[in-house]
Structure 1
Amino acid sequence: MGRIRLVERVGAETPALLEARPVMIHAQTVRDDQLDRMAPVGMIASIFSVHTWFWGDVHLRNFGPERGHRISPARSALDRGVRVTLHQDSPVTPPDLILTIWAAVNRSSHTGQQIGPAHRISTWEALRAVTVEAAYQYGEEHSKGLIREGMRADLVILSDDPLNTASKDLRDLEVLTTIKVDEIVYSA
């Protein structure tokens, strides 16, 4: 039985179980018709966005242009009301959220090939995906994900404002300071 069909069935039989926030991990080849079914049951698409950078050319070759350009379709998911998070799969890829954000915003391969530019998301949407939406995915939205009084101070200070950085330059941002539970744990 497909994952979405299973979540639909469980949700119909026991709606309270959907409060567990089902997640489709990787969501690499999810189709629009599947995204349309994910939204009503609150299924989150956790997108492995750096696939476009590391293996975009391979996906185009293996899947063909139509499916290859749809790898990690974050834009389609957001446009259909599906919550999106971005993740890495270390040690398969380096644990680098800045590269993850850059990949979701730019959708470029190692060779410079544009991989489904229609599926790009904005820098703001990518930042939300790794903060607000990630906290929501784990049921921690009341203590993490936002900079607000009463929230945990888990955050980074970057070398520049990502919202005022050209999308192509996002991967050049550097983490200057990392704060975890109100304590500096890293400083450049």
Structure 2
Amino acid sequence: NTRPVMIHCQILQPEQLPQLKRIGMIPSFFVNHIYYWGDIHLKNLGKRANQISCIHSALKQELPYTFHQDSPVILPNMLESVWCACKRETKAGLILGENEQISVYNALKGVTINAAYQYFEEKYKGSIKEGKIADLIILDKNPCKIAINDILKINILTTIKDGKVVYNKKL
């Protein structure tokens, strides 16, 4: 029983997604490429760059997807990945592939429920439910109820690992 994962997926095309679904492969998108290198992708790939990290297309195919970063290429920051998946803005301020934008809720699934599924941990991680392991962060704002650009301003107040507080921001 395997759940193979395709890492990065920048140039994975929407028409290739049914093949991934057929073999049960999970795309893990380095979605931050859109912000950090999107302008370069536009220069090198032209209009094809609008399809990099085709997350909305994966969602339409009912494919579970996840997000990752390549530290130390960029710092680990899953809220930044959520912002990138929703906004799809390059450093120059261009929207790269508006049709591939997803909702904040669906972006959060890429770093919670889907990530747990990817590692066969969905029975005890990935969502809040009695009996599941309490690995949580407490944020100062609800990312689903603020403007997309404000996601980058969210502060982590507390981090809980295995039910124990491992970080608590001094207020």
Shorter-chain TM-score tier: over 0.9
**1:149 counterpart = 2:130:** yes
Tell me how far 1:33 sits from its aligned partner.
Answer: 2.2
**1:165 counterpart = 2:126:** no
Tell me how far 1:118 sits from its aligned partner.
Answer: 0.7
The aligned runs of 1:92-103 (5 Å cut-off) are 92-103=73-84
Structure 2 equivalent of residue 130 of structure 1 = 111
* Runs of 4 or more consecutive aligned structure 1 residues displaced over 6 Å after TM superposition: none
Tell me how far 1:77 sits from its aligned partner.
Answer: 0.9
- Normalization by structure 1: what TM-score? 0.88
Residue 123 of structure 2 aligns to a residue in which SS? coil
Structure 1 equivalent of residue 23 of structure 2 = 41
- CA contact 2:58–2:64 (8 Å) conserved in 1: yes
**1:23 counterpart = 2:5:** yes
Q: Specify the code of the residue in structure 1 equivalent to 2:33.
A: H
- CA contact 2:13–2:52 (8 Å) conserved in 1: no
Q: Specify the code of the residue in structure 1 equivalent to 2:95.
A: Q
Structure 1 equivalent of residue 72 of structure 2 = 91
Among 62, 68, 90, the alignment partner of 2:44 is 62
Q: Specify the code of the residue in structure 1 equivalent to 2:31.
A: S
Which of 1 and 2 has greater Rg?
1
Which blocks of at least 5 consecutive residues in structure 2 are unaligned?
none
**Root-mean-square deviation (CA), in Å?**
0.8
Tell me how far 1:159 sits from its aligned partner.
Answer: 0.9
Tell me how far 1:80 sits from its aligned partner.
Answer: 1.2
Among 32, 40, 53, the alignment partner of 1:50 is 32
1:29-87 deviations in whole A, cap 9, x for unaligned? 1112210111122110101110001001000001112x111111100111112111111
- CA contact 2:14–2:51 (8 Å) conserved in 1: no
Structure 2 equivalent of residue 6 of structure 1 = none
**Higher-helix-fraction structure:** 1
Q: Specify the code of the residue in structure 1 equivalent to 2:39.
A: D
Which blocks of at least 5 consecutive residues in structure 1 are unaligned?
1-18
Tell me how far 1:168 sits from its aligned partner.
Answer: 1.8
- CA contact 2:56–2:100 (8 Å) conserved in 1: yes
**1:119 counterpart = 2:85:** no
- Normalization by structure 2: what TM-score? 0.96
- Report % sequence identity: 44
Among 90, 94, 102, the alignment partner of 1:109 is 90
